[in-house]
Amino acid sequence: MPAPEPDSPNLDSVFVEQPAVEIVGLVKRYGDVLALDGVSFAVPTGNVVALLGPNGAGKTTAVEVCEGFRGPDSGIVRVLGLDPRRDARALRPRVGVMLQGGGAYPAARCAEMLRLVASFARHPHDPPALLAALGLGSVAGTPVKRLSGGQRQRLSLAMAIVGRPELVFLDEPTAGLDPAARHATWAVVEGLRRDGATVVLTTHFMDEAERLADSVVVLDHGKVVAAGSPSELTRAGMAGQVSFRAPAGLDLATLAGALPAGALASEPTPGHYLVESPVDPDLLAALTGWCARQNVLAEDLQVQRRSLEDVFLELTGRELRS
Amino acid sequence: MTGQPAGGVDFPDLTPDPGAGPLPRMLLAQAAIELRLALRQGEQVLLTLIIPVLLTLLLVLGSLVETDGSSRADYFLPGILALAVVSSSFTGLAIATAFERKYGVLKRLGATAMPRSVLLGGKTLAVLGIEAVQLFVLGALGLLLGWEPRAVLGAVVLVLLGTAAFAALGLLLAGTLRAEATLAAANLIWFLLLLGGGLLLPLSRLSDSAAAVLQFLPSAALADGLRAVFQAGAGLPVRPALILLAWSVVGFAAAVRWFRWE
């Protein structure tokens, strides 16, 4: 898959291409436990997709089926148009993988391990340069077992991308990282996206999904409970709200007429107004435009927009991280 | 990597350019790291080199065990070389592989472009490399102590066959048991073979009924074969070679059938 030219916009909207990952009705059981219960989603080429959910939601299982480590009990899984297990030999050179737990030889030195994985690729990145870019230059000679958890995570990330893959699976790439290391990891994901690679990552950090992902697939108990772009998810369903103070007794009917369809306007107590609606720039423009026409100054204007965290709580009735 | 920041994201160029490297390069890289890790690990070196060297000195220079009248070096060296092969190709390989499985190394390497056959080939080359070091060190020590091998060529074939048989059994152990259980079992089996498997002493020193059964052990076949070559100048002892071949075939079939990568 050629990368888009630096000066061209995202070509995905122009060319209809096969998605990098396509999953339809995926079911996976471990004994009596239904890990994945009819999961479907697609990852367009060049996108970053986050699988979001609490521990045990099925994120890792979904990724490991895509990586060919596990076969589906039923359903269809296509990765780069191929079958992850039957076509593993053809897929492995094209796909970069970051496993939970890393999988480096504990006794190998950091740089030695990355050189090993680099030697399996045709045109790998220069291992020392990659280590330096990830802030691991100073521990290049340190055995893996003596690296900190965050350093090991970054080595594992380096191992995933050193072969210049076109599709990268990152399983909890920022779990246990300090803020600096998290930002280094985000820079890699953003760099992969910028340069045309496709990324599938799992996370239970909302801010990570909102910041990095073109679309988010929310998993809970092995099912997709919501999917869409972060802004679609935070807009969809139940509304956010805007509240403000103004002179009592304004005409709510004209207010409702000025706002986007579906917005509810009310005056719960005299002089306190509430607008319930998906919150976006149009809503605020309509609201303040109406105020201007009424020659009313809205004071204490407060916008409450849902975060993905709220969405998740609404969908599943529980916190992402317990 | 150009180091050019672009688009406000300051990470070097990550433009995809995927593809597998050449297989010979993969094989050499894998063999090299396996070999370096084995030689770097104290327990492995103890098992593969230090114990065989100490046993050589103890048995040849001491008078702990009586021999049949031939020189002590000629009497003990074949068994010690067979022990060295068991140490590296069975016990060392089994323990290392079991912990690689436990720590997810095998799984991780399985997700790279390196085919599993190349991973196994790399392990095999690394074991052969360790054996080359062992045979050099123990052979030189033996010659210094008066060892006079009558022939060599058949021994090379026996060592290769023995390596195949014991590596298959070691991988079978590592791929089916937990790492800790493999550690215990591989050491215990090593010790039992040392004493009762024809390594330290020829089976002829045991009772006839015991020897009739134990002669089919791969350790006994390897040691007996090496004794026939080094002590009597045999070409290629057929019976021991066939026994080792049979263990290799059965061992690899079982390992392929039951080995679990994670």
Model confidence over B80-110: pLDDT tens digits? 999 999 999 999 999 999 999 999 999 999 9
Query: What is the nearest CA distance from A193 to chain B, expressed in angstroms?
Result: 9
In this prediction, does ipTM exceed 0.85?
yes
Closest among A191, A76, A227, A212 to A201, alpha carbons compared: A212
CATH topology of domain A239-305: Alpha-Beta Plaits (3.30.70)
Model confidence pTM above 0.95 = no
Residues 103-142 of A with CB under 8 A from B: 103-108, 112, 115-117, 119-126, 129-130, 133
Nearest one of B227, B233, B259 to B79, comparing CA atoms: B227
Q: Is the CB of A236 inside 8 Å of chain B's CB atoms?
A: no
3-class state of residue A73 by DSSP: coil
CA distance A166 to chain B (A): 5
B40·A187 Cβ contact <8 A: no
Tell me, what's the pLDDT at B26?
A: 97
| HSE-CB of B240 using CA atoms within 13 angstroms | 26
pLDDT at A49 over 50: yes
Mean pLDDT over the full length of chain A: 88
pLDDT at A1 (0 to 100): 46
What average pLDDT does this structure show over B236-246? 96
φ/ψ of residue B48, rounded to 5: -90, -30
A27 three-class SS: strand
**Strand ranges across the sheet with A264-269:** A264-269, A272-277, A240-245, A299-304
CA–CA distance, B129 with B51 (Å, rounded to integer): 18
What integer is the mean pLDDT of B32-54? 95
CA angle B53, B58, B62 (to 5 degrees): 150
**pLDDT confidence of residue B7:** 39
Contact A309/B at CB under 8 A: no
Are B14 and A1 in contact (CB < 8 Å)? no
pLDDT at A319: 62
What is the reported pLDDT for B11? 82
In this prediction, residue A311 carries a pLDDT of: 73
Strand pairing class (A167-171; A198-203): parallel
Interface mutation vs chain A, best among B2, B11, B33, most A CBs within 10 Å: B11
- The residue behind tokens 């246990």 is A176
Percent of chain A with pLDDT over 90: 58
What SS3 class is residue A303? strand
Closest Cα in chain A, distance from residue B31 (Å)? 10
B17 with A164: Cβ contact below 8 A: yes
Q: Min CA distance, A144 vs chain B (Å)?
A: 12
How many beta-carbon pairs below 8 A join chains A and B?
138
At A8, the pLDDT band (50, 70, 90 cuts) reads very low
pLDDT for residue B172: 95
Give the full edge-to-edge strand order of the sheet including A21-30: A33-43, A21-30, A74-79
- For the cut 70, the answer to whether the pLDDT of residue A10 exceeds it is no
pLDDT over 70 (residue B2)? no
pLDDT at B142 over 50: yes
| For residue B209, pLDDT beyond 70 | yes
Chain A residues whose beta carbon lies within 8 Å of the beta carbon of residue B100: 105
Instruction: Examine the pLDDT at A9 and tell me if it is beyond 70.
Output: no
Residue of chain A with shortest Cα separation from B25: A119
Query: How many whole angstroms separate alpha carbon B35 and alpha carbon B46?
Result: 15
More confident residue, A140 or A55: A140
Mean pLDDT over B49-70 rounds to 88
What pLDDT, on a 0 to 100 scale, did the predictor assign at position A17? 72
Structure-token match 């985000």, residue found: A186
| Chain B residue nearest residue A160, CA to CA | B112
With an 8 Å Cβ cutoff, are B30 and A116 in contact? yes
Mean pLDDT of A225-253: 80
> What are A72-89's pLDDT values in tens digits?
999 999 999 999 999 999
- Higher pLDDT among residues A321 and B76, named by residue: B76
Higher pLDDT, B261 or A95: A95
Mean pLDDT of A231-239: 65
Nearest residue of chain A to residue B100 (CA atoms): A105
Of the candidates A108, A133, A164, the beta carbon closest to that of B33 is on: A108
Comparing B96 with B67, the larger pLDDT belongs to B96
| pLDDT of the residue at A318 | 65
Domain A11-234 matching CATH 3.40.50.300: the answer reads yes
Of A58-62, A312-316, B98-102, where does mean pLDDT reach its minimum?
A312-316
Question: What percentage of chain B carries pLDDT values higher than 70?
Answer: 96
Contact criterion met (CB < 8 Å) for B16 and A196: yes
Give domain limits for chain A: 11-234, 239-305
Q: Give the whole-angstrom CA distance, residue A107 versus residue B109.
A: 15
d(CA A48, CA A191): 11
